[in-house]
Amino acid sequence: MSKIECRNLTKVFRLGSGNLEAIKDLSFEVNAGELVAVVGKTGCGKSSTLNIILGLEKPTAGRLAIDGKEPYAEFDYFRGKLSAVFQTDRLLPWRTVLQNATYALEILGITEVRRLEKARYWLEKVGLSGFENAYPHELSGGMRQRVGIARAFSIDPDVLLCDEAFGHLDEVTANKLRADFLNLVRETNKTSVFITHDIDEAMELGERVLVLGKPARLLMDVQVSRSIKDDHTKRGELKSRIIKAIESDEPAEHG
Ligand SMILES: Nc1ncnc2c1ncn2[C@@H]1O[C@H](COP(=O)(O)OP(=O)(O)OP(=O)(O)O)[C@@H](O)[C@H]1O
Ligand SMILES: [Mg+2]
């Protein structure tokens, strides 16, 4: 299990002749085995933060470390240790469900026998047994996301990241997928970061919710215990506080 430490992270993009500050002095921690939801309005720098965690982007300043190592600087060390489920399924259209589910394992050089075994196992876990030979275009959006989830879990990563993974699905399908995803994360004890602009989703999934301002910096860091999740009134109060923090773009008074 891995710990994520983000210290005074800043990311500035060059945009035409000017600069765009996407992340501004962002600090937070995700403890090993914890499931943290990150919420903030559109364009506030959530995906940019996730890309830095994945080692796809380099911080402009500050430090993002997983188990003391920086993903961008030590890309090779993190091969097979991080995986992500994105908003769009990012499946390869010319590959079957099974071939998509084995793809990450193939890149890691796992033998074919083991690849098929692991991919079939995870496809079954996400409820796609019987669809191994279907192509992505033959599946519903929810089923395609399930392939993405199977692919992400297949490599048994230390850290699992989700970026608006259920954002474009209907409410009923999203609820089901959320519950299934939560069970898998719990079962496997992954350190997990779930990014969303949906406050209800963040409170449902996260053991802790981080609320980001725009540009990305920490406005709120709040534990969401079972007693809050299950209590309609407490939930409503917390949601109001989160909305207030996002609207004012100021840190909340009581963390
Ligand atoms: N590669 C890039 N080059 C230039 N600007 C970028 C790049 N990536 C992101 N940005 C800018 O950084 C800001 C934050 O973008 P980001 O995608 O991180 O936001 P987000 O919170 O994920 O938004 P959404 O909720 O819409 O997905 C935006 O203004 C975006 O235009
Ligand atoms: Mg995004």
Quote the number of domains for the chain: 2
Determine the pLDDT at residue 243. Answer: 97
Domain of residue 150 covers: 82-156
Q: How far is CA 203 from CA 22, 143, 209, 230, 253, in A?
A: 24, 24, 7, 11, 19
Residue 24: CATH number of its domain: 3.40.50.300
Determine the pLDDT at residue 89. Answer: 86
Ligand 1 atom nearest residue 42's Cα: 25
Which of these three, 133, 156, 179, is where a domain ends? 156
Q: Nearest Cα to 65, choosing from 191, 154, 155, 165? A: 191
Nearest ligand to the CA of 41 is 1
Residue 173 covered by a domain: no
Residue 176 covered by a domain: no
Strand-strand pairing, 82-85 and 159-163: parallel
Ligand 1 contact, 251 CB (< 6 A): no
The closest residue, in CA terms, to atom 7 on ligand 1 is 13
The closest residue, in CA terms, to atom 9 on ligand 1 is 48
Q: What is the mean pLDDT of each run of 10 residues along the chain (255 residues)?
A: 95 92 97 96 95 96 97 94 92 97 95 97 94 96 94 95 89 89 91 95 96 97 96 97 95 68
CA dihedral 240, 246, 250, 251 (to 10 degrees): 60
Residue 244 covered by a domain: yes
Cα radius of gyration (the chain)? 18
Q: How far apart are the first and last CA of the chain?
A: 26
Determine the pLDDT at residue 169. Answer: 84
The neighbour count for residue 136, using CB atoms within 10 Å, is 18
Ligand 1 contact, 46 CB (< 6 A): yes
Residues 28, 100 within the same domain: no
Nearest ligand to the CA of 212 is 1
Determine the pLDDT at residue 168. Answer: 81
Residues 139, 118 within the same domain: yes
Residues 60, 87 within the same domain: no
Residues 70, 196 within the same domain: yes
Residues 103, 40 within the same domain: no
Residue 249 covered by a domain: yes
Determine the pLDDT at residue 255. Answer: 46
Ligand 1 contact, 16 CB (< 6 A): no
Ligand 1 contact, 51 CB (< 6 A): no
Choose the residue to mutate in 19, 39, 44, 54 for probing ligand 1, maximizing ligand atoms within 8 Å of C-beta: 44
Residues 92, 28 within the same domain: no
Residues 74, 86 within the same domain: no
Determine the pLDDT at residue 252. Answer: 79
